[in-house]
Every structure is written in C-alpha cells, then in structure tokens.
Amino acid sequence: MKYGIFSDVHGNYTALRAVLDFYQNNGVDNFVCCGDIVGYGPQPLECAETLRGLKKLVAVMGNHDAALVGKMDLKWFNSNAAWAIEFAREQLTPQALDFISRLPEKAETSEFMTVHGSPRKPLTEYLLSEVQFMDNAGKWAVSPCFIGHSHMPLYFREREEGLPETDFIKPLEKIFVDGRLMFNPGSVGQPRDGDTRAACGIYDSEKKYFELHRVFYDIGAVQKMMAGLNMPAILSERLSFGF
C-alpha cells in the first residue's frame, strides 16, 4: 500500500491542492496527516473540509489545531500565530470544528504510527536531535513513526548502540525502513528549510521505503489572498523564502 504522508498544512489550501494532485497523479489514495491543519494560512476552512472529505485518512491533532478548539492556551503562541488561530476560528463551520476537535493526539495501525510533535509530548516537542529521539525510545511501538511540527524533512534511524542515524531528507531521496525509524515529511503549507515548494512524502508499506517529494504551487496567489485578508505581513513574506 502506498500512503501519502504530509504535515503542517497550516491553512495553505493552494499548497494542499497541489500536493493532493501530485498524490492522485502517482496513484496514492491513502493518507496520513501529522497535524497542524490550521494556523498561519488564509484558507483553514478549505483545508479542514478537504481533509474531512478524504475517505482513507489517518490524522492527528497539532498544537495549532489544539489551540483552535480550546485544548491548548493561546498564550503559548506568538502574536502572529495567535492571530491566525483566531482567524481560523471565525472561518470554520461547526462541522469543520467538530472534525478537528475529534482528532486524536496519537494514531497507530499495524503498519505505522503518527503523532504531531513526539511520542512523549505529542503537541509540544520539536523532535530535532538524536538525544530527543533516544529519550522517546520507550514511548512508541510501531515503526515507522511519522511526525511533524518542526517543518523539517528529516529522519531518525535507531541503532543498537550509540547515537541514532539522522539527516535531512532530500527531494526524491528514498529511505528504507529496515528497523525503527521516524520520518518528518516537512511542511505542506509553510516550509522552513529554505525550499519554498510544498513538502510531502510517500510511504510504500510493501516495499518498505519512504520517499520525499517537493511540489510547486502558486505562492504569489496565496500571498495576494493573505494581503486581501490583512493577515500579518510576516506570515505572507516568509512563504517567499521558505523559513
């Protein structure tokens, strides 16, 4: 089975559409979303409704989603992020809010598991270092584990001794799942690794590999929409730089 693995859509529907079109062109119709559907971007409703409509989706709650539905305090967010969460709250229909509020913090199948931040702190930990990965060791059972939150496409591979193997994942790079691995597919809606294209992954559970892809989308159109909504300028400008 091929799964489309993606995270941190953040209300960027133009980017999400491009990623879903990419998946359709590659015969992928099973999906895993590692959280942060809303926040930062101009179309949170369209993103929530599109994901709600996917028949085969495993999704977890991100910290921005949690704040949207009152499961996390807005004081943990900077003013621009908080602005976008309140904007999303005004946009979402009761059905879309209900969909987000029901998302679990962890999801597990026989083939993989997913969580937004980390297994030990699903909503808050930015899992970026080998030591953090090792500290999470006893908290997850099924490999691979898909995470989001940091917006960085990277992987960790457990070793029997010493520090785990970790690296950023380049576009089209294939990483085989031959043990206990975690993957972050990067961010669809607000990449922060200097590549402005939407990031997403494909996991082939039969051939046991994860592959990263980058997909072009119309950044200018999103920025125009954001300007029309008087969204904080920094949220729009950062899309041009991928940070």
**Interaction site with Fe ion (CB under 5 A):** 8, 36, 62-63, 149
Q: How far is the CB of 39 from Fe ion (least distance, A)?
A: 7
> φ, ψ for residue 175 (rounded to 5)?
-120, 125
Residue 63 or 223: which CB sits closer to Fe ion? Answer: 63
Q: How far is the CB of 139 from Fe ion (least distance, A)?
A: 18
- For the record, the structure tokens of 4 come out as 């489309």
- For the record, the structure tokens of 154 come out as 């990277």
Residue 8 or 193: which CB sits closer to Fe ion? Answer: 8
Long-range CB contacts (< 8 A, 24+ apart) of 227-234?
A: 229/42, 229/87, 231/42, 231/83, 231/84, 231/87, 232/79, 232/80, 232/83, 232/84, 234/80
Residue 36 or 46: which CB sits closer to Fe ion? Answer: 36
**For Fe ion, which residue has the nearest CB?**
36
Residue 8 or 46: which CB sits closer to Fe ion? Answer: 8
Q: How far is the CB of 162 from Fe ion (least distance, A)?
A: 30
- Amino acid found at 228: G
Residue 9 or 175: which CB sits closer to Fe ion? Answer: 9
Burial code (b: 16+ CB inside 10 Å, e: under 16) for 111-128 equals bbbbbbbbbbbbbebebb
Q: Checking DSSP bridges between strand 30-33 and strand 57-59, what pairing results, if any?
A: parallel
Q: How far is the CB of 124 from Fe ion (least distance, A)?
A: 8
Q: How far is the CB of 1 from Fe ion (least distance, A)?
A: 26
